[in-house]
Amino acid sequence: MDKKNFKDMWVYVEHDGKQVHPVALELCCEIRKLCDQSGDRLVAVIAGQLPESEVEKVKQCGVDAIIAVSGTGYERYNTEAYTNLFTVLCNKYKPSAVFVGGTVNGRDFAPRFAARLETGCTSDATELIYNPETTDIEFVEPAAGGKIMAVITIPVLRPQVGTIRPGTFKHVPTGAKAKVELIKEEISFPVENIRSRFIDFRADAFDPELDIASCDTIVCVGAGIKDEESLGRYRELAKLLGGKLACTRPVVDRELLPYKLQVGQSGVMIKPKLYIGFGVSGAVNHVTGVDAEKFIAVNRDPDAPIFNYCDYGIVGDMDEVCDMMIAQLKK
């Protein structure tokens, strides 16, 4: 396989027919930067119907071209039609890389079409680097329980397929290009070959307290938390600061708080203005999920790794420090 025959970087634009999934916009903005370094074109792939106002949001991320796919099979996400679509498109256009949001759907079909194309797929990278010498993308991700940062490349095969978790990158549109090429494709997948059947859709009851991804202030408790009762003071602190409570994975494992409040590599990626971590050691799997303007850490161990990441560190008992903060705020 000659890598030179593969050009352009693609982003799959996931949508529900009404709105683009935020991860697609985040990816377009990040991959724009890689394309500027590599000289590739940034191509957004949109299957099915999407309002023009939403397509405009994609254009604002600086895409060079859009492949708009019509045909049967794309009304609702399904494994078969989407796996087939990317297999067919990649064989025809030979992109150098395809990036897919690491949503439930993206994680389902990306490895499948990569396998059909006999190429590699990496998941959950927290950083993407273009290497001009090899022309490979370096997918950087925490590995071995966060003890090392692994750099994964797909050095001899193309396209390089990767799934990236929502919230990993920022949606910072650079503006639409003067000319965006529109490539129309009609690829119909026989609906009778879709093996799943749509029966009903029931959305989770929306609990705003569990929506930490877009919150400005996060009070995060780690394994240092004693018990359920001691959570009360952290809830109170979060409320006084106009923020929300979040936690590390061991707190979820102990069933003290729900999974939706877990921050980190296998939880929610957060970008608050203020993050205060209480009794959090600073494992890389956790801190890679935090992109805070101000990072405060409270830990009784002065050598805890979290002190390498924070703007302000307080060595002390987490409950005592929390009570002091509450008392000061009430004053």
Ligand X SMILES: Cc1cc2nc3c(=O)[nH]c(=O)nc-3n(C[C@H](O)[C@H](O)[C@H](O)COP(=O)(O)OP(=O)(O)OC[C@H]3O[C@@H](n4cnc5c(N)ncnc54)[C@H](O)[C@@H]3O)c2cc1C
Residues near ligand X (CB under 6 A): 145-146, 222-224, 248-250, 262-267, 279-281, 283, 285-286, 289, 299-301, 304, 317-318
- Tell me the residue number closest to ligand X, measured at CB: 264
Pairing of strands 148-152, 136-143: antiparallel
Smallest separation, CB 285 to ligand X (Å): 3
Smallest separation, CB 212 to ligand X (Å): 12
Nearer to ligand X, 66 or 251 (CB): 251
Tokens 């801190």 -> residue? 287
Q: How far apart are alpha carbons 217 and 77 in whole angstroms?
A: 34
Smallest separation, CB 168 to ligand X (Å): 12
Q: Considering only CA atoms, which of 15, 11, 21 is closest in space to residue 166?
A: 21
Q: How far apart are alpha carbons 286 and 291 in whole angstroms?
A: 11
Q: Which helix (H) or strand (E) is 321 found in, with range?
A: helix 318-330
Angle at 33 between CA 31 and CA 36, to 5 degrees: 110
Smallest separation, CB 127 to ligand X (Å): 16
Phi and psi (nearest 5°) for 52? -60, -35
Smallest separation, CB 155 to ligand X (Å): 24
Tokens 């966060």 -> residue? 146
Please write down the HEC assignment for all residues of 141-197: EEEHHHCEEEEECCCCCCCEEEEECCCCCCCCCCCCCCCCEEEEEECCCCHHHCCCC
Nearer to ligand X, 66 or 318 (CB): 318
Smallest separation, CB 259 to ligand X (Å): 10
Nearer to ligand X, 243 or 289 (CB): 289
Nearer to ligand X, 76 or 147 (CB): 147
CB distance 146 to 30 below 8 Å: no
Task: Count H helices and E strands in the chain, helices first.
Answer: 8, 15
Smallest separation, CB 239 to ligand X (Å): 21
3-class SS of residue 191: helix
Nearer to ligand X, 85 or 318 (CB): 318
Nearer to ligand X, 21 or 165 (CB): 165
Nearer to ligand X, 25 or 251 (CB): 251
